[in-house]
Structure 1
Amino acid sequence: MEQRHLGRTGLRVSRIGLGTLTWGRGTDEHDAADLVKTFWEAGGTLVDTADVYADGEAEYLLGRIVDRLVPREDLVIATKAGSVPDPERRFDGSRGHLLGALDASLHRLGTDHVDLWQVHAFDPLTPLEETLQALDIAVTTGRARYAGVSNFSGWQLAKAATWQLALPAGRTRLASTQMEYSLLQRGVEREVLPAALDLGVGLLPSSPLGRGVLTGKYRHAAFPGPPGSRGASEHLAGFVAPYLDDAGDRVVDALTTAADGLATTPLQVALAWVRDRPGVCAPLVGPRTSEQLAAALSAEALTLPDEICQALDDVSAPVHRYPDQDWSTL
């Protein structure tokens, strides 16, 4: 699998990453092991998790699998910290919480360092410089090799990345930002992606298949979705539902037409589209089975013709007016 630099850093990652959101709940240890082995054998390196996935069980499973099946040095392990199970405060970016969460993640993962450590979300109750100091400490103490953020808005990302670049000696450059990005969710193109491109921060798209909708599995299925799908899941139905609308149907129809013309699948076309967008380093796929992963990995050989990309751009185009539109024409 092709490798790409993560932002403006020396870290190289496979251009498709493996996500672990369902591990410990919908994906057991046996299936997770099959996923990692299949991914590794295909040349995949980037495996993304978080301390809150299945209350830490995803990290624990990954640690057990790496210890038994895959050499640690062959993987780029990324995890996140900052989300908390508190209805009154969803995110905690304080230095104390973040560093404590990192130590707990390392224990569950069974390793002395992670390759990429990410702040899961912006915490408005903690000074940003304190949050960023936790990243600096993690890197300087060897507990993390690189640092990034996740779910930061455009101004939040720009402020954080600029702060880290303002005093290069002793500050850790942000390597990445993880955000949802797909043909069904292009909101990052408004401010986040331009900021990332300007500041040398690589984009790691989550849900690149539109929470599963872009595979086409919901196209002719009875509501809420086929058996075994996220849409039919008690825990994830609300996650999928926003994209099961008329706008989503139009995109999926166009995607299916493109896939038929290329003798491939909607999944492959959707993944190739987001993978090759400017600024994207590695879309993160979250299959439940090795068969689903193999289907995603088969997109490695696909490069979309320009006319197909343009058609998909047009049908999925978000509405951006002021201030993105030229104000002099208004």
Structure 2
Amino acid sequence: MKNLSIFLLMLVSAKSFSQSQKEMYSIMEKTAQKLKEKSGAYSVSVGIVKDGKVYTKHYGEIDKGKGNKADDNTYFEIASVTKLFTGQLLAQAVLENKINLEDDIRKYLKESYPNLEYNGTSIKIKDLISYKTALPRNLPDDTEIRKTMSDETPFQYNTLGENYTKDHFKQDLQKVKLDTIPGTKYAYSNLSLELTGLMLENIYGKSYETLLNENILSKAGMDHTKLELGKGEVLANGYYSSGRLMPKSISYLWGAGGSKTKSTMGDMVKFLKYELDSKNSVVQESQRNINNSKGDWYGYFWDGFGLSEHGKMGYKHGGAFGDQTWFTI
């Protein structure tokens, strides 16, 4: 979907550039202007961490004609960037020996799911984190909606999900049919992430939200990243390329895939710094090349990792109804 409000986050390592502060802001402005012109976005925000120092800048306006520029405390929906949180929680479970990458995922589900295998081959944890589960993209099933994408699509998604509960998810999961052997084919799946949220709750006996707050947000000092905003807290508007105001996402599932998360630039640059911590064993595990592949890899739910002349580089995109987020280390 073509959405007009863009929340862009980038992380630049110390080896990448040697620019002064003035030059850094000049680079940010040129990048933001190119994005704004190419996408037609009303608003572009850029955050960079270099040599431990944070640079943030905001361009344009959230609502066309109102002059309301975003700032470091503006709440946006970060969508699938949330998957990196979920990946870290699962990486922690691996390091704590509560789970093994070779395990059948059904070991951590309380209900019976004989359907979650293909010709006798089950889905393993390592398939889950690499988007190779052979599971459908979404539950509830959005096949028909995805056939025709327009500025009406987000409203259709909300209609589909407004009465869809965790119990409905578990019931539908028992009806899912895998279309190939798990571990053999990449297929992006939000269903896999909500399933991970359920598994994590079963493993720890705590809600996904509690696990997120205790193990990541509090440690990173991210006080403005939430599944639900408090009283008086306002989410920035986002728009489709047609100029139509987009709705806020509705979900009653775990939120482990990103359907509920709101955050700010201020918090996201904290998370950028958190992801750079070479001494944080959970972070390093979540970025690991688990299959020791010679090419690119996925870590735990990243869109991709690879090697460059500057070292390891990873990226994750989050697409909400009204804004887009690029998270890069």
| TM-score normalised per structure 2 | 0.28
Q: TM-score, normalized by length of structure 1?
A: 0.28
Higher relative contact order (CA 8 A, sep 6+): 2
Between structures 1 and 2, the one with greater helix share: 1
